[in-house]
Amino acid sequence: MFQDITYFPIFGKPLIMYLGILTLFAFLLTASIAVMNRKGIRTIPFRWHPRCAACAVFLALVHGLIGMLAYF
């Protein structure tokens, strides 16, 4: 059952690949908020940093969980 979800094709590629890419972008966004605010660029307020970090960690946990459950 979990293999069906994990390897569900979207544009010919499995769902887990897109979730991994989304997770990577979420971590990069989180890091860029901190770096930009440190350099004085306040495009995105720093209060969004913890929210983006929580979202990135949640995506990483879901990504890892469905990746592991595909083999059980």
Q: Is 72 helix (H, G, I), strand (E, B) or coil?
A: coil
- What is the domain range of residue 28? 2-69
- For the four alpha carbons of 7, 21, 44 and 52, in that order, the dihedral sign comes to positive
State residue 61's pLDDT score.
97
Q: What is the pLDDT of residues 13-65, one digit of tens each?
A: 999 999 999 999 999 999 999 999 999 999 999 999 999 999 999 999 999 99
Q: Has this prediction a pTM greater than 0.75?
A: yes
Cα torsion through 49, 54, 57, 58, rounded to 10: -140
**Number of domains the chain contains:** 1
